Amino acid sequence: MKNKLNKMSKILFSASIIGWIIIGALLFNFANADASNSGDANVYKKLKLFSEALFNLRQNYVEELDVDKLIDSAIKGMLDEVDPHTYYFTPDEFEKFSTDTKGEFGGLGISIDKKGDYITVVAPIEGTPAYRLGILAGDKISKVDGVSVVGLNTDESIKLMRGEPGTKVMISIIRPGVKNELEFEIVREIIKIHSIPYSFKLDNGVGYLRIRQFNANTTTDLREKLDELEAEGIRGLIIDLRFNPGGLLREAINTVNEFVGKGKLVVFTKGRAPQTNEKYLTRFNRIRDDYPVIVLINNGSASASEIFAGSLQDWDRGLIVGQPSFGKGSVQRLFPLSDGNGIKITTAKYYINSGRCIHKDINDKLLKDERVRNGDISTEEIKELHEAAEEKNHEDIYYTSKGRVVYGGGGITPDIEIEQNKLSDLGVELRRKNAFFNYSVDYLVDHEEDVELDFRCSEQEIQDFLEYAKSENISFEQAEVDSIYSWITNELNSNIIGRKFGDIELYKILIEEDFQLQETIKIFDKYRSLADMFRYAEEHNREKKKKLE
């Protein structure tokens, strides 16, 4: 009996060995193909080592193991050694990622990205439920309907957040600087993404145009909006790309075309494989009048929006104002694998005409940093790391087409840096509790006929609003109110007018308290030509440098 068992064990063992020999042969073919390209003769040895470890684990582990899960985990572990944008998909994930191209859906209205273990809000989309409730860029989503999303990827989190329009979802958020988790009950809506939600002529004769993202209609929309503004006789143009997460590369190139003409190099890609090296030039014989253009960016401007801003800077067609951009300049390509799996691999990086690389390596390092993953690093420390990276960027000097100095090292550095005013704790709470929106809805029930476009709240109406806020358990001291009285008045005015006359009229009032934009408008009031603005930027930066020295 014992001999029979031994014989059976040997047969099973031999069968297993044969199976692993077959796997090993397949791995050997793959390894040899890869080794011939990379010159790494050690790849086969390591693959053999992997198969041996897997075989021993499967044969000897105390409990039966799911080999599929083991191999999936091994692949994901391997990808932990590369950048955070290279990602392995299971069949379900790959199918969703490849086919999810719907133009509208029942959602919240936020652009998100995974930073460390947390799904983080890159930007709320104007006019959506999340925007109205006061969800902010930088908010970390910890739970959806009580289910933890810490460690989940963006696709898994999106599945939990999306749903039928009209249904409710509870979002728990960790906000930098706020001790306790914040909870937002949000009613899902159909989210329609309009590329250019706002376009109008300002009181000083300058056109204002906000590009929210670069989608399939951006070039067409931009041409239409520019035609309308030019027909009104604008003397300059502000293009607002703040919190623009990017989008379609071709649309970014075609919108640049409107300002620089045909045959201009906008962006090129460089990677290890020759087929990843491509150049993208403008194609259309179109160019707008030579009025001065200022492009507004911030740390929420990423990818295609950085290519647009950087290209106008490189071709000396626009002054860039605001804060350094995000620095997302890597190219990913999707590869299908066997059994319906897939992999998204970073294959190249984006460079603009001056030779600057868009990609900011500090972002990838922070995404991989265990301290960030574990919450063991403060917001201030992260800020210091970014500032150190920005300082290092200024060591990499490049030149525009007319010889102006610009800086590389990742992201777009503005010609003139202007910081945005920060929302106070009381302002955050009023937004979070949706106080302005709710009060304006109630207000219009009784006063709609009294509200015209020039409506402004009286002092008594502001006091009525503050009493309403108290009834909603929003506590505050009078000193807090006094410090942001102008902002509260502006928010209330814009919400009441917006409820009656729409988002554009709401936005026109809202931007009166937008410090970055108001400072940008002042540049047009002081300088008439782009050449004058460039000279001012150089003088401004020289003076700034002297003060720091």
pLDDT at 490 over 90: yes
Domains of the chain: which residue ranges?
2-65, 104-190, 198-329+348-417, 425-513
DSSP category for residue 335:
E
Whole-angstrom Cα distance, residue 310 to residue 359?
12
CATH class, range 104-190: mainly beta
Whole-angstrom Cα distance, residue 83 to residue 116?
12
pLDDT in tens, 26-48: 444 544 444 455 446 688 888 88
Instruction: Compare 320 and 79 and report the one with higher pLDDT.
Output: 320
Active site residues: 303, 314, 328
pLDDT at 455 over 60: yes
Reported pTM: 0.75
pLDDT in tens, 61-82: 999 999 888 988 899 889 888 8
What's the confidence (pLDDT) of residue 498? 85
pLDDT in tens, 261-280: 999 999 999 999 999 999 99
How far, in Å, are 53, 59, 77, 88, 348 from residue 74 at the CA level? 11, 17, 5, 11, 24
What's the confidence (pLDDT) of residue 380? 77
pLDDT at 388 over 80: no
Task: Report, as an integer, the average pLDDT of 415-433.
Answer: 91
Q: Is-same-fold flag (104-190; 198-329+348-417)? A: no
Question: What stretches of 221-326 adopt beta strand conformation (E)?
Answer: 237-240, 265-270, 278-281, 293-297, 319-322
By CB atoms closer than 10 A (0-12, 13-18, 19+), residue 520 is buried
DSSP category for residue 295:
E
Superfamily of domain 198-329+348-417: 2-enoyl-CoA Hydratase; Chain A, domain 1 (3.90.226.10)
Whole-angstrom Cα distance, residue 52 to residue 17?
10
The rounded mean pLDDT for the chain is: 86
